Amino acid sequence: MDFISEQRLDDGVVERAFRLGEIPGFLWTPASSPAGPAPLILAGHPGDLDRMYPRLLARARHAAAAGFATATIELPGAGVRPRSAVAEQARADLRRAVTAGEPVSDEVVDRLVLPLVEAAVPEWRAALDALLAVPGIGGPVGFSGGVISIGVRLAAVEPRIAAAVLFAGSYVPRAIVEEARRVRVPLLVLLQWDDEHNDRQMALDLFDALGSPEKTLHANMGGHTGVPQHAGDDAGRFFSRHLMGAA
């Protein structure tokens, strides 16, 4: 992991841009160093760091105010990273179905999401290895955000993930719903009830399938990007409850 820039923001949060091999990423750390190393939140997103930067930064500032470090990396096939012909075709097929008002087939969802999960999850785990070696960054680790299938796989296979806030806002392959039964860490699932990019019943089925004994669903009105401030506050309290006590 190579740090390529560092700046202190107006609220004292330190932002570092890095590269993990070819993969760009950001690390934000709180203004004041707490007693020990800061617990880390991996901030998931749908891809394209340039476009997502303002929202990711807002989430990182919010988390920093509660003592958390936040890190994110670019997704495979997004932003400056090479496109995948398979994913581009699947995305075009999905768009065509949605535009035509047709149901999106499981086959298209699998073709779009499963290779993304396969490629992304090892990268997030490698990022985790590197991030936990940075001075001042410690465990426990949370995952927050989307793509929800990446979050589910990470929570299922990565033992360092101690809690997760999952944003239900993308298509979920049936195989991931099955995999969800293996997740055991505390979960908060955020669902936008009228999400234009999401199948509500699929999100409820995924929530039902998740194997965690402690899981909570927060559904709010509005579309994909209309998550209300109080839902973000809920996510912050969730991580404080599950990661700070254990720090």
Q: Which of the stretches 37-45, 46-54, 174-182, 220-228 binds a second copy when contact is defined by CB under 8 A?
A: 220-228
27-45 burial: b if 16+ Cβ within 10 Å, else e: bbbbeeeeeebbbbbbbbb
**Shortest Å, Cβ 218 to a second copy:** 6
CB of 56 to a second copy, least distance (A): 24
Minimum distance of a second copy from residue 67's CB (angstroms):
19
100 vs 221, beta carbon nearer a second copy: 221
Sorted by sequence, the CB contacts under 8 Å of residue 185 that are 6+ apart come out as 155, 161, 162, 163, 164, 212
Minimum CB distance to a second copy smaller for 107 or for 196: 196
Tokens of 87: 């994913």
Per-residue interface string for the shown chain with a second copy, residues 172-201, x marking contact by CB under 8 A? ---------------------x--------
Tokens for 180, please give them. 């969800």
Number of H helices and number of E strands within the chain? 7, 9
CA gap 182, 40 in Å, rounded: 23
For a second copy, the binding residue among 97, 217, 244, 247 (CB under 8 A) is 217
- Is residue 241 a contact point for a second copy (CB under 8 A)? yes
